[in-house]
């Protein structure tokens, strides 16, 4: 199965690797969450906020049709759409978004190659 690609608007159409990799488990969970809301959102937005021991943590919010931001990076893969806040883009490029469901926790997990450090609980990271 190939990786997601994003069409780059330029003089000649070309493709580039998507800024965020979405695993099958993450896509399945996003679909389940979107299906619970009425009206159904068009996707989720990944952003960052300054908090935690190491400075930054991920945020996830629903994106309704009327709340789409003009400069969001859009990744459509495995039947879901993830919008990346433009202020977070340079910090999440190359990140893999997964969903983990264990006896103790159910959460989205981000494997970020740009992270230079993380806190002990995994809630925040620094670049």
For 74-121, how does the pLDDT look when each residue is reduced to its tens digit (9 = 90+)?
999 999 999 999 988 888 888 999 999 999 888 898 888 776 555 444
For domain 16-126, give the CATH superfamily: HesB-like domain (2.60.300.12)
Distances (CA, A) of 95 to 12, 14, 38, 65, 110: 27, 22, 30, 25, 6
**Sequence spans of domains, the chain:** 16-126
pLDDT, tens digit, 9 for 90 and up, residues 1-54: 556 666 555 555 556 778 899 999 999 999 999 999 888 899 999 998 876 555
Single pTM value for the model: 0.76
């Amino acid at each position: 199965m190939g990786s997601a690609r994003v069409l780059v608007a330029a003089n000649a159409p070309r493709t580039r690797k998507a800024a965020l990799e979405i695993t099958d488990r993450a896509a399945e969970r996003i679909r389940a969450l979107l299906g619970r809301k009425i009206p159904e959102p068009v996707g989720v937005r990944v952003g960052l906020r300054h908090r935690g021991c190491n400075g930054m943590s991920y945020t996830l919010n629903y994106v309704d049709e009327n709340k789409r931001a003009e400069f969001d990076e859009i990744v459509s893969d495995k039947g879901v759409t993830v919008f990346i806040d433009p202020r977070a883009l340079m910090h999440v490029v190359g990140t893999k978004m997964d969903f983990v469901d264990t006896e103790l926790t159910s959460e989205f997990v981000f494997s970020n190659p740009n992270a230079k450090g993380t806190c002990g609980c995994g809630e925040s990271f620094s670049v």
